[in-house]
Amino acid sequence: MATDLSFFRSESAQRLRAQGRAQGVEQGLELGLEQGRAEQAAHSILVVLTGRGIELSASQRAELTATTDLDQLDNWLVQALTVTCAADLFD
């Protein structure tokens, strides 16, 4: 028995696929921008701490670079200006 596949070649199906691709691209771009912002924020925190002579342990550095919550990263950046040791930043 033959299956009618004409729907998959129809103009409507092609339009729906194009819309789906466009939405996927848009979501991917937004995710990429958000990840880039998080990476930049983590880098800024490291620059501030390094400039102040405060070193992070490997686990602290891993926690910082793995964080994607921009609000948390912003808080850490502000705190990085005044903390006296890395432990104070993560408490």
Question: Quick check: 8 pLDDT over 70?
Answer: no
Establish if 2 belongs to a structural domain.
no
Nearest-angstrom CA–CA distance, 19 and 76:
39
d(CA 49, CA 81): 8
Q: Which residue has the higher pLDDT, 14 or 84?
A: 84
pLDDT at 1 over 70: no
Tell me which amino acid residue 61 is.
R
Domain that holds residue 26: 9-90
3 belongs to a structural domain:
no
Query: Which residue bears the tokens 């992070």?
Result: 56
- The answer as to whether 19 is a domain residue is yes
SS3 call for 4:
coil
pTM: 0.71
Q: What confidence score (pLDDT) does residue 4 get?
A: 60
pLDDT at position 38 is: 93
Number of domains in the chain: 1
DSSP per-residue codes, 42-70: HHHHHHHHHHTTPPPPHHHHHHHHH---H
Residue 65 lies in a domain: yes
The whole-number pLDDT of residue 14 equals 76
- pLDDT tens digits, one per residue of 34-87: 899 999 999 999 999 999 999 999 999 999 999 999 999 999 999 999 999 999
- What integer pLDDT is reported at residue 79 of this predicted model? 96
> What six digits make up the tokens of 56?
């992070």
